[in-house]
Structure 1
Amino acid sequence: MRIGIVCPYAWDVPGGVQFHIRDLAEHLLSRGHHVSVLAPADDGTPLPPYVVSAGRAVPVPYNGSVARLNFGFLSAARVRRWLQNGAFDVIHIHEPASPSLGLLSCWAARGPIVATFHTSNPRSRAMIAAYPILQPALEKISARIAVSEYARRTLVEHLGGDAVVIPNGVDVDFFARAEPKAAWQSGPGDAAATGAGSGPTIGFMGRIDEPRKGLPVLMRALPAILAEVPGARLLVAGRGDEEEAVAALPPELRSHVEFLGMVSDEDKARLLRSVDLYVAPNTGGESFGIILVEALSAGAPVLASDLDAFAQVLDQGEAGELFANEDADALAAAAVRLLRDPARRAELSERGSRHVRRFDWSTVGADILAVYETVTEGAEPGRSVAADEPAGRTAQD
């Protein structure tokens, strides 16, 4: 099958949607399909052979974050050329309602279109206001996928229609096989030990300077955690202003925080395999929570804010513990209890490792392929050419 996948966000800026698209493309390629991904990318960005650049993206505030999107006449021309050259059997557009390549592709393509909705935003006035503009494009979609029940609810309430829920996928074995790194594991001694580096390690991953990722909540909880578990360390992976991140922390406690910067996929897996507790203090705007699935795959005990999407991923607290969103005291109390209870952490690790198998690409990929097969059944192959371009003609920049 010839499959075209549209990524709305800049390929060179890491994010859950980009990672999902990358892993989906590589899974489909491993199954023998022809796959091409169209994505925004700055000049000089190293791209896998299956990714086609649609040009540079611009930062736009979107869903409580800053997304790097691609829109305009030049982008539209590149979309049309990609569609014409690809002659795809099915187009898979991610976030078709965002003002980026997804919407442009939805307008331009003809033939079977599958759309995945990642956004969870129960009160999006912008989406409601834009519906009259979006409707003609969205009506061309043959099948809709939502990555969670909460993303599906956002779609239904704002844009109408419905979607099948297929979660984000993960290569469970990649994380399960990773080798822990001694420098990121507990030091000699136990949770009652004193001195930074001599006790358990807590992991956090996310953009440091994006408040909704929750690092400020974790920093507010850290003094109470260290008062009860003096040797604990917090390992932070992600980009952002490190000095600003610890500015509110008492100077004598700052040595307990180690910033790792951006880490590779291999080091992400090793970090998750190494920590005694992974904390996800995100405050909102999450439709799924792929980092939770990755942590569970690595066998890390997980403590997360009780966002609806996180509770769903963690099986309502059975596969990982939850604390009240934005409540630093509740986070600290739960973290201390878990750091002092290795048996409970081992229980969470074992439960999480069983639960996470439902998110493996062997299952998720098969479900997505089943959607492709449904929409392409009876369709003429290779009919993804731009709607107003005659076959054989290539759109020019």
Structure 2
Amino acid sequence: MRIGIVCPYSFDVPGGVQFHVRDLAEYFIGDGHEVSVLAPADSDTALPDYVVSAGRATPVRYNGSVARLNFGPVTAGKVSRWLDHGEFDVLHLHEPVTPSVSVLALLAADGPIVATFHTSMVRSRTMQTAYPLVRPSLEKIAGRIAVSEDARRTVTTHIGGDAVVIPNGVYVDRFARAPRRPEWLGTPDRPTIAFLGRMAEPRKGLPVLAAALPDVLREIPGLRVLVAGPGEVEQVTAGMPPGVAEACEFLGAVSDEDKASLLASVDVYVAPNTGGESFGIILIEAMSAGSCVLASDLSAFSRVLDGGRTGELFRNEEPAHLAQALLTLLRDPERRAVLAEAGRQRARHFDWSVVAAKIMAVYETVIEGRSAVLNQPASRWSRFLRGGLGR
């Protein structure tokens, strides 16, 4: 099968949608399919062979973050040429109403089209602005996928129609086989916890964790907080309570291999995110690596953690409750072990072998539906609509 996948966000900056597109493409390539990915990227960005650059992206504030998007007539020309050259059996658009290359591909494409919606939000000015532009073309989408119930609710609220829920995927075994690193392992006196995310982005929740840490450090003064992710250390530590910055070890942006080892090594992975999350792929990665997870009780996170059965939940944006839950886990290794094992089992449901099979089933259904329409005998009325009568 020839598969075209469009990512609206730039491959220059890592993100959940980019990782999803990358892993899906590589899984299908490994399964013998021909896959081409179109995404924004600077000219000097090293890209996999299967990725075609749509040109440099522009930073735009979107969904509580900064997204790098690409739009305009020059980009539209690149999209059309990519579509013509690809002759895809199915076109898979991600975030088809985000004003970037996915919208341009939707406007230009014809044929079997599948769309995946990742975003979860109550109200989106960007989506409301883009919607009138793409509304007529949304009828082209024959298969709609949402990565979570929260993302599906965004579709039904802002766009209309419905979508099948197929979650994000993880290469579970890659995380399960990750070696533990001695420098990141905790001890009873010096346990380790980890935070991964863009440090300066408020919705990732580092300020919430920082506000909770004084209570934890009073009880466990040797606690080590391993912080991984992009951002300026001086900027994020400037407002931290006294003593908290000293407990933090800033690792910067880490590779996929180091991320897996970090998650496999720490006593607890903490996800203090405050909102704007439609799924929570990092939770699945942590559970795959065998980490005990402590996360805010966002609805998306609660669903991933099966309502708290495969990870501990604390009340969102309540540092005191986070501190209490973290102290309880750090003092109870047996509880951590139980949650970690439950997490390992839960993560298997999100392995790419499971997720990709569901996405392929959508592709096949859409292709078969398109073929049935094209092969349907034309009625007198349909011939009239195409100008076929009287010839």
Answer yes or no: same fold by TM over 0.5: yes
| Alignment-mate amino acid for residue 263 of structure 2 | L
Aligned twin of 2:259: 268
Contact 2:212 2:320 in 1 (8 A): yes
Contact 1:320 1:348 in 2 (8 A): yes
Q: How far is 1:44 from its partner?
A: 0.8
Equivalent residue, structure 1, for 2:386:
none
Residue number among 268, 271, 284 corresponding to 1:277 in the alignment: 268
In 1, Cα distance between the equivalents of 2:65 and 2:369? 41
Contact 2:216 2:326 in 1 (8 A): yes
Query: Distance between the aligned counterparts of 2:220 and 2:280, measured in 1?
Result: 28
Equivalent of residue 205 in structure 1, options 178, 192, 196: 196
Whether the aligned pair in 2 keeps the contact of 1:148 and 1:309 (CA below 8 Å) is yes
More helix by share: 2
1:225 equivalent to 2:212? Answer: no
Which amino acid is the alignment partner of residue 62 of structure 2? Y
Give TM-score, length-normalised by structure 2.
0.93
Unpaired runs of 5+ residues, structure 1, are 194-198, 384-397
Partner of 1:19: 19
Aligned to 2:117: 117
> Could you tell me how far apart the structure 1 residues matched to 2:284 and 2:31 are?
23
Structure having greater relative contact order (Cα 8 Å, sep ≥ 6):
1
Paired residue type of 1:315 = D
* Structure 2 residue aligned with 1:302: 293
1:290 equivalenced with 2:258 (yes/no): no
TM-score, length-scaled by structure 1: 0.92
What CA distance in whole angstroms lies between the structure 1 residues aligned with 2:58 and 2:369? 39
Shift of 1:249: 2.9
Q: Residue 137 of structure 1: CA displacement?
A: 1.8
Alignment-derived partner of residue 41 in structure 1 = 41
In 2, are the aligned partners of 1:305 and 1:325 still within 8 Å (CA)? yes
2:288 counterpart letter in structure 1? S
Q: What is the distance in 1 between the residues matched to 2:125 and 2:242?
A: 42
Aligned match of 2:329? 338
1:139 Cα deviation from its structure 2 partner: 1.2
**Mapped contact 2:191–2:330 kept (Cα < 8 A):** yes
Matching residue of 2:383: none
Q: How far off is 1:129 after superposition?
A: 4.9
Kept in 2, the 8 Å contact 1:218–1:281? The answer is yes
SS in 1 for 2:67: strand
Residue number in structure 2 paired with 1:392: none
Instruction: Decide whether the 8 Å contact of 1:212 with 1:283 is kept in 2.
Output: yes
Q: Which amino acid aligns with 1:286?
A: E
**Structure 2 CA distance for aligned equivalents of residues 123 and 278 of structure 1:** 30
Q: Distance in 2 between matches of 1:149 and 1:89?
A: 28
Q: Which residues in structure 2 correspond to 1:231-246 (within 5 Å)?
A: 231-246=222-237
Kindly state the Cα deviation for residue 91 of structure 1 after the two structures are TM-superposed.
Answer: 0.3
Partner of 2:389: none
How has the CA–CA distance of structure 1 residues 250 and 308 changed in structure 2, closer, same or farther, with 3 Å as cutoff?
A: closer
State the 1:230 CA deviation: 1.2
Alignment of 1:314-333 (within 5 A): 314-333=305-324
- Counterparts of 2:168 and 2:230, CA distance in 1: 23
CA contact (8 A) 2:210 2:241 kept: no
For structure 2, the residue ranges without an aligned partner over 5 or more in a row are: 375-391
Q: Which amino acid aligns with 1:50?
A: Y
Partner of 1:91: 91
Q: Paired residues, what number?
A: 373
Contact 2:98 2:130 in 1 (8 A): no
| C-alpha distance in 2 between matches for 1:102 and 1:155 | 16
8 Å Cα contact 2:204-2:273 kept in structure 1: yes
Farther off after superposition, 146-155 or 122-131: 122-131
What is the identity percentage for the equivalent residue pairs of Structure 1 and Structure 2?
65
Q: What letter corresponds to residue 117 of structure 1 in structure 2? A: F
Distance of 2:48 and 2:26 partners within structure 1: 10
